[in-house]
A and B are shown apart, each in its own frame.
Chain A
Amino acid sequence: MKAEPLSVLTGIQNPKVIGWRLFLKTIIARAYPRLIGQQREKSWIFFDIFLPMLGVSAYVYVYRAIGAPEEYVGFVVVGGAMTAFWMNVLWSMSSQLYWEKEQGNLALYIIAPNSMMAILLGMALGGMLATALRAVAIIILGMWMFQVQFMVTSTLQLLAVFFLAMTALYGMGMMSASLFLLLSREAWHIANLAQEPVYLVSGFYFPIKSFNFWVAAAASIIPLTLGLDAMRQLVFPSGALLGFLNVKLEIGILTGLCIVFLTGAKFLLSYMEKLAIREGRLTESRR
């Protein structure tokens, strides 16, 4: 031990911030590990770009082999890029509070004066931005490998669809984070169980118009379903012909999903915290 500098031992010099400034600080701090930390393991290039590109390539070659319209290749590339967001929500949002608990972080988040909602928003923001890098890489690679041409009909609507789909999707992730925590060890199995069916029903590699109306309508509860459908309509010339619903209606529904999922996340988080404190489920299993 060295001789201690007095300024540390005598305490904090500046007042600690509270209220909305603490809320913002918490969001940025919790987003940091995802934005910076996750880029440090270069294996993400292999697992998050190379492997999804293999899946995309397989669908592209199937469509080309059967002589499907060239727009389908573009559909697959866009779907492949959005897959990254679904994986991120499933494994790094929904299951996250459970992992945080086992790691010992959840207890530290709870005893800090910050809002748990800010922690979840930080996780979501960090995850979304880090995943956007992977999604853009897949789009660029897809354009280069398969000569995909995009023709944006409305940039404003495209941006609106993307941000609404992301907000609703990550809102759903925040909501399920609380649910998964309550389900405890089952979280791993539920995430596994949800992964493949959502690839199918959300139409990652084909237009959901191929489904029966009611199946597509039910699948629309997952924000990526309508988000993908609307984006495809807005970036490909024949997209509107293969679209499930009118883009404006899809924007309206996505707005509704944002409200439902974010509100649900707030209520479930509060319920989960109270229940976990009552039943003693906030600390890792070994304690």
Chain B
Amino acid sequence: MTAESAIETRELGRIYKVRGNKKEKKVRKELIALQDVNLEVRRGELFGLLGPNGAGKTTIIKILTTLLAPTSGMARVAGHDVALEPQSVRPKINMVSGGESSGYGLLTVRENLWMFSQFYGLASKEANERIVQLLKMVGLEDRIHTKSSDLSTGLRQKMNIVRGFLTDPQVLFLDEPTLGLDVGASRDVRKFIRGWLDAEKTRTLLLTTHYMVEADELCDRVAIINKGRVLACDTPANLKRNLQRDALFEIETSPLNGLSTALIESLPEVRKAALTEIEGGARLNLSLVEESALASVINTLTQKNVKILRLSKHEPTLEDVFMEQVGHSMSEVEQAGENEG
């Protein structure tokens, strides 16, 4: 680990032992949540873990925040081994999870935040001053004396965000921080996060998300993770640049009449195809080696009596990078995960 590293993992792995169903209660199955994860997050960096639900993002956060022991490999945060020196890691970190309902509903916003600040040894006076200032920054100052049980989901999440920043951690972990927030609240939170990090270059932030736009807009670097493995890691710009050689198209169609991605991918010069069902039809994302391959795709659609409702060419996004790495779109992977579950 270099002096510039805030987080480092080497061959990090985690296997859960899970009970079988009712019939196989005594049988313990192994579930591989993480496998050989190697990451290095530099001090001052906003690093994103991007992947579908169940990819292993939260497991990485749990390990890095000393809540879960790895079953193989090692992880260091702020210069300390998380498994061997958790007491040295904890004063330097904090964590906020999306949709969390921490705190006590009978306490006001200020009281909840004050309580958590005391667990980090902040002077009460300073804690209260910071609470007022931070609440102003997230637009929650008028709710300072509101019981937290009376807050909406979005406002409660803003309170949680303030809790994480209140103790001024060296390394902050945000696990899906905008989960369930409306567009405006998500934008506010993202702006606040970026502002906090830019104000002090020694702060580090690790963010997990399955929102591509969020990762693209916020992160200095992104690791794409799926099924417990890191598939790619670079700046969003570099990840997208690597796809630049392909022509990317998005086609909205009428219902597909049994047309499969395999059939489209079998066409010459088609590198990747991903289908997503949408209302009244489907969306087909194409990555083509040559633009001329579009003609054969359209031909195939026409032969199957699939109508083309909209066709557009676009610049690569992280969604395209994910599709390139995983072979499916994020929504397809999540859908498949739900079906398996």
Residues of A within 8 A of B (CB): 1-2, 4-14, 16-18, 21-22, 25-26, 28-30, 32-33, 36-38, 40-41, 103-105, 107-114, 119, 277-280, 282-283, 287
> Which of these, B67, B111, B168, contacts A111 with CB under 8 Å?
B67
Contacting residues, chain B, for A111 (C-beta < 8 A): 65-67, 90, 93-95
Complex CA distance for A103 and B293, rounded to whole angstroms: 53
Residue among B68, B118, B167 making CB contact with A282, cutoff 8 Å: B68
Q: Would you give 13 A-B contacts (Cβ < 8 Å), ordered by A? A: A1-B191, A2-B137, A2-B139, A5-B133, A10-B199, A13-B126, A17-B123, A29-B119, A40-B106, A41-B106, A108-B102, A280-B14, A283-B62
B279 to chain A, nearest CB (A): 29
Given A22-B121, A30-B115, are A37 and B104 neighbors across the interface (CB < 8 Å)? yes
What residues of B have a CB within 8 angstroms of the CB of A33 in the complex? 104, 106-107, 111, 115
Main secondary structure of the interface of A (DSSP, over half): helix
- Bound-complex Cα distance A219 to B108 (A): 42
Instruction: Collect the chain B residues with CB atoms within 8 Å of residue A278's CB.
Output: 69
B-to-A contact residues, CB < 8 Å: 14, 16-17, 58, 62, 65-69, 87, 90-91, 93-95, 97, 100-104, 106-107, 111, 114-116, 118-123, 126, 129-130, 133-134, 136-139, 147, 163, 167-168, 188, 191-192, 195-196, 199-200
How many whole Å from A278's CB to the nearest CB in chain B?
Answer: 5
Nearest 7 CB-CB pairs, A to B?
A: A29-B118, A9-B199, A37-B106, A16-B121, A112-B119, A17-B121, A113-B91
Residues of A within 8 A of B163 (CB): 108
CB distance from A2 to the nearest CB of B (A): 5
**Which residue in A7, A29, A107 is a CB contact (below 8 Å) of B67?**
A107
Instruction: Please name all residues of chain A whose beta carbon is closer than 8 Å to the beta carbon of B58 when the two chains form the complex.
Output: 287
CA distance A277 to B86 in the complex (A): 11
B136–A11 CB distance below 8 A = no
Contact at A1–B66, with CB atoms within 8 Å? no
Across the interface, do A25 and B118 meet the contact criterion of CB distance under 8 Å? yes
Contact residues in A for B133 (Cβ distance below 8 Å): 4-5, 7-8
Per the bound structure, the CA–CA distance linking A282 and B69 in Å amounts to: 11
Interface centre among A32, A105, A278, A280 (most CB of B within 10 A): A280
Decide if A280 touches B121 in the complex (CB within 8 Å). Answer: no
Tell me which of B114, B115, B120, B191 contacts A16 (CB under 8 A).
Answer: B120
Among A32, A113, A287, residue most surrounded by chain B Cβ atoms (within 10 Å) = A113
B120 touches A287 (CB 8 A): no
Given the known A-B contacts A5-B136, A26-B118, A36-B107, are A280 and B126 also in contact in the complex, defined by CB atoms under 8 Å?
Answer: no
Minimum Cβ distance to chain B for residue A219 (Å): 34
Whether B67 contacts A282 by the Cβ 8 Å rule is yes
Q: Assuming the A-B contacts A32-B111, A108-B116, are A10 and B200 also in contact, with contact meaning beta carbons closer than 8 angstroms in the complex?
A: yes
Q: A277 contacts which chain B residues (CB < 8 A)?
A: 66-69
CB-CB nearest in chain B for A114? B119
- Contact residues in B for A107 (Cβ distance below 8 Å): 65, 67, 95
Most A Cβ at <10 Å: residue of B120, B123, B134: B120
User: Beyond A8-B130, A10-B200, A110-B67, is A103–B136 a contact (Cβ under 8 Å)?
Assistant: no
Q: How far is the CB of B190 from chain A (nearest CB, A)?
A: 10
Contacts A9-B195, A26-B119, A111-B94 given; indicate if A104 touches B168 (C-beta within 8 A).
no
Given A4-B137, A5-B136, A8-B134, residue A280 in contact with residue B95 (CB < 8 A): no
Contact B200 A11 (CB under 8 A): yes
Contacts A1-B192, A113-B87; A105 near B103 (Cβ below 8 A)? yes
